[in-house]
Each structure stands twice: as structure tokens, then as C-alpha cells.
Structure 1
């Protein structure tokens, strides 16, 4: 019974090792995220210089070019905001 629990724990740890927090990542780390290039990284760093991102909605509102579709891809690539992956809003929910 310990083996499945260990496997689940290892999976969770490997995900957290792949996760990259947007509020603490440096330029090189952000550039390494699939879907972010130098221009997008610069926009993120410029916006972050004004204050940390509260959540994905805050990031999308303050950084030009990051919309729900892009946020989904970045989250799938391991980017997090306050250690949270992007969650697609339910139908009818307000999207920034």
C-alpha cells in the first residue's frame, strides 16, 4: 500500500519542481518558459516592478498579450502566480 502513496508524492514533488513562480522568477527563468519570449518577459518584469501579481487575473490585466488562452499555455508550461496554476473560468464568469 505504500508504493502508490509514494508514487503520488513523487508526482506532486516533480510538479512543484517544474513550477516557476512569476513573482520571483528572474529574466532567464521567465525566458525559459515555453510561450514567453524576450518581449513578453520584459513586459512581465516591468509590470512586476510596480507590484507583485495577486493572481492570474491581475497578471492578465497588467501584462499586454496575456489572455486566457495564453495563460492556459503558460500554466501548462509550469508558470504559476502565487503558486497557483491558471484555472479556466467557468462559462459566464467575468474574464479580464
Structure 2
């Protein structure tokens, strides 16, 4: 019983930490990017295309260089994104 409780708490803690981790825009795939608010299939594809053509993003602000990503979208996503491993 205690083992089950500890295992359950460990899984819940891991899930919570993972949910709060910022998404690395240099490694995120299509589906991960599409899960962001305001990012649909076309914008996710544009992010990946830009990254492929120009190399990794140096900062989250570089995302504004991607066609279709404006200041409002970027401001809404800024806290959920990163360019380095957390």
C-alpha cells in the first residue's frame, strides 16, 4: 500500500514538473509546437522550416523572424518557450 502511494506521488510530481517545463523551440516537433496556444499546423511547419533553413534559434525573441509569428503571439508564448534544455 505504501509502495503504491509513493509510486503514485512520484508519477504525479514528475507530471507536474514536465507540464511546467518550457518547450525548447530548437528541438520541438510539429505536434509539440501545435499544442501551443495560437500555433496551428501552418505556423508549426513554418517554425520548423525556419529552424531547418537558418539553424537553431538563439533566443525566444528570434521566433518573431518566422512568418506568421507576430509580437502578440510571441508575447503570449514567451513564458512557455526556451531555446536551451531546462
Distance verdict in 2 for CA 1:72–1:43, change over 3 Å: same
Aligned ranges 1:1-96 → 2 under 5 Å: 14=17, 17-50=20-53, 51-61=55-65, 63-76=66-79, 78-82=80-84
What is the aligned-residue RMSD (CA, Å)?
Answer: 2.5
For residues 42-65 of structure 1, what are the alpha-carbon distances to aligned partners after superposition, in whole Å with 9 as ceiling and x for unaligned? 10000011210111332212x012
Q: Distance in 2 between matches of 1:71 and 1:15?
A: 21
- Higher RCO by CA contacts (8 Å cutoff, separation 6 or greater): 2
Report the Cα offset of residue 75 of structure 1: 2.2
Larger Rg: 2
Alignment TM-score, normalising by the size of structure 2: 0.66
Q: Is the 8 A contact 2:63 2:74 kept in 1?
A: no
Count of residue pairs the alignment pairs up: 71
Point out where structure 1 has 5 or more consecutive residues left out of the alignment. 1-9, 85-96
